[in-house]
């Protein structure tokens, strides 16, 4: 299913979007704990099977309108110098994509990315604070059938203190965006965490899913992958997908983007 226009009772145009957030684990298959351990070497060295696995991922990514990627690779030794975000965009038929390199090493170019069925009008890349450099927030502005939308993708730190600092910075960034906003990624914290509650109170963003475990993929116990949306966006359906291609399960959301009118124009998602 692709994006399609609908209308409200008042005739106002709306758009239905299919959204996916996915930590791809650099294309390394991890359908059980023993497989993840066996494949640790693939985080630093190239392997043909990673490209094969990315091809399988592209098969289901093609059914979505917006795809946020975490643990992608911008073209390094471990990826055979192939840009994973660009490759997935090509294989899944996305004409528009953007990425942010957070750690630029010869062995591994750690990146986050967005695949979009809609034209990208602006890309802003932000560095996030942390004891270990290499975390960032990618903000991509798109125009979906005349409606401006900001789509942010992030991958937060493992440590709670660093995440708290990062959430403060993310709140400042997203709180200043006027458009309807979608924020997705691997936050490395659960829905009930202080970090998530703080971001929601700071921005007015709300979670699309309710306590849906995504990690580890073979026995999901922690809900650390999230999609959050602002006012002006209604969630129709949201779920995780049981696809054993990474150590995370993908999060899938179908949302309705309400059309712009005088009442909704401007900074729609700031908390009162």
Residue 270 in any domain: the answer is no
* Alpha carbons 192 and 189: distance in angstroms, whole number: 8
Residues in CB range of 168: below 8 A, 6 or more apart: 198, 202
User: What's the pTM?
Assistant: 0.91
Residue 227 in tokens: 């999609």
* Residue bearing tokens 């695949």: 115
Q: Using one digit for the tens of pLDDT, what is the confidence trace for 28-51? A: 998 888 888 888 888 999 999 999
What's the number of domains the chain is made of? 1
What is the token pair recorded at 258? 């309400």
Q: Give residue-wise pLDDT tens across range 129-179.
A: 999 999 999 999 999 999 999 999 999 999 999 999 999 999 999 999 999
Q: What is the CATH number of the domain that holds 250?
A: 3.60.10.10
Identify whether 271 is part of a domain: no
Q: 251 lies in a domain?
A: yes
**Hey, which bits of the chain come out as E strands?**
4-7, 13-23, 66-73, 96-104, 109-116, 120-127, 136-144, 147-155, 180-186, 206-207, 225-229, 233-240, 251-258
Structural domain span for residue 231: 14-258
Q: How far apart are CA 14 and CA 145, in angstroms?
A: 9
pLDDT in tens, 81-116: 999 999 999 999 999 999 999 999 999 999 999 999
pLDDT tens-digit readout, 223-253: 999 999 999 999 999 999 999 899 999 999 9
Whether residue 134 lies inside any domain: the answer is yes
């Amino acid at each position: 299913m692709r994006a399609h226009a609908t209308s409200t009772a008042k005739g106002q145009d709306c758009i239905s979007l299919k959204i996916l957030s996915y930590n791809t684990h650099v294309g390394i298959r991890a359908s059980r704990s023993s497989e993840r351990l066996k494949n640790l070497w693939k985080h630093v060295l190239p392997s043909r099977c990673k490209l094969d696995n990315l091809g399988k991922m592209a098969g289901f990514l093609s059914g979505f309108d917006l795809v946020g990627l975490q643990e992608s690779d911008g073209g390094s030794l471990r990826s055979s110098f192939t840009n994973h975000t660009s490759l997935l965009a090509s294989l899944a038929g996305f004409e528009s994509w953007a990425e942010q390199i957070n750690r630029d090493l010869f062995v591994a170019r750690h990146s986050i990315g967005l695949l979009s069925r809609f034209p990208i009008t602006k890309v802003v890349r932000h560095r996030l604070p942390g004891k270990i450099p290499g975390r960032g927030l990618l903000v991509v502005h798109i125009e979906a059938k005349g409606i401006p939308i900001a789509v942010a993708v992030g991958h937060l730190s493992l440590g709670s203190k660093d995440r708290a600092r990062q959430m403060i910075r993310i709140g400042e960034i997203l709180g200043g965006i006027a458009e309807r906003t979608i924020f997705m990624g691997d936050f490395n914290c659960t829905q009930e965490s202080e970090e998530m509650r703080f971001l929601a109170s700071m921005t007015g963003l709300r979670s699309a899913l309710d306590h849906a475990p995504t990690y580890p993929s073979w026995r999901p116990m922690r809900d650390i992958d999230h999609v959050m949306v602002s006012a002006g966006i209604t969630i129709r359906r949201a779920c995780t997908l049981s696809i054993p291609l990474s150590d995370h399960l993908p999060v899938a959301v179908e949302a309705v983007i309400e059309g712009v009118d005088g009442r909704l124009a401007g900074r729609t998602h700031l908390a009162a």
